[in-house]
Chains A and B, each alone.
Chain A
Amino acid sequence: DAKTTQPNSMESNEEEPVHLPCNHSTISGTDYIHWYRQLPSQGPEYVIHGLTSNVNNRMASLAIAEDRKSSTLILHRATLRDAAVYYCILKRDSGAGSYQLTFGKGTKLSVIP
């Protein structure tokens, strides 16, 4: 089972960095680590993904532990628009050319003005 563990909720002050942790101790060698976020009343949106190396994009950075059993999503300067539920997901092939995204409970991030 592609299970991940995240804190239920976190708070951050506006314009400060946020580090959202995720544990995935059962990760297999070919699983990709994906992060999505869901803003209120919207569908999930892609944030970032990685396999082994740390990754940066315009939205965030992803730091992956050397043993790949944990990762951290980093928002460099939180804004009010970053308030959302953040999901850490292991993406793996489910066979026949398909893949599965198994959503956990996610972390609800609150940003304080």
Chain B
Amino acid sequence: SAVISQKPSRDICQRGTSLTIQCQVDSQVTMMFWYRQQPGQSLTLIATANQGSEATYESGFVIDKFPISRPNLTFSTLTVSNMSPEDSSIYLCSVGHGGRRDTEAFFGQGTRLTVV
């Protein structure tokens, strides 16, 4: 299993500013994933972050808006840049082990972001 800590748990930010969300895992993992959950909606994958390589972004998400760092095997950050009210969402970090289809994924508790 894996225990994931996300910081901050929630924040209220002014439009035009940026927020960096931290994700710490209690074990070394190859892949980390960042999701967005807009109000009342399901989860949407933003990007996949592997240690030592550039993050891979899903359609509709770009690095300039959501830069990601992955400095080691237990930590990652997601920055939401130049925020607007449309960025108000829950952002979740997730990890999986070994990239196998028959293993479970683990999720952090999420960061609830409100942009005013």
Contact = CB atoms under 8 A, between A and B. Distances in A.
Interface string B26-46: 000011010100000011110
A31, A44, A49, A87: most-surrounded residue (chain B CB, <10 A) = A44
A51 B48 CA distance: 25
A99 B99 contact: yes
Interface residues of B, number: 26
Interface residues of A, number: 26
A44 B45 contact: no
Contacts of A43: 4, 92, 94, 107-110
Contact of A92 (B48, B50, B101, B105): B101
A93 B43 contact: no
B42 A106 contact: yes
Interface in B65-116: 92, 94, 96, 99-102, 104-110
B99 A87 contact: no
B47 to A, nearest CB: 11
A89 to B, nearest CB: 9
Interface of B: 4, 30-31, 33, 35, 42-45, 48, 50, 56, 92, 94, 96, 99-102, 104-110
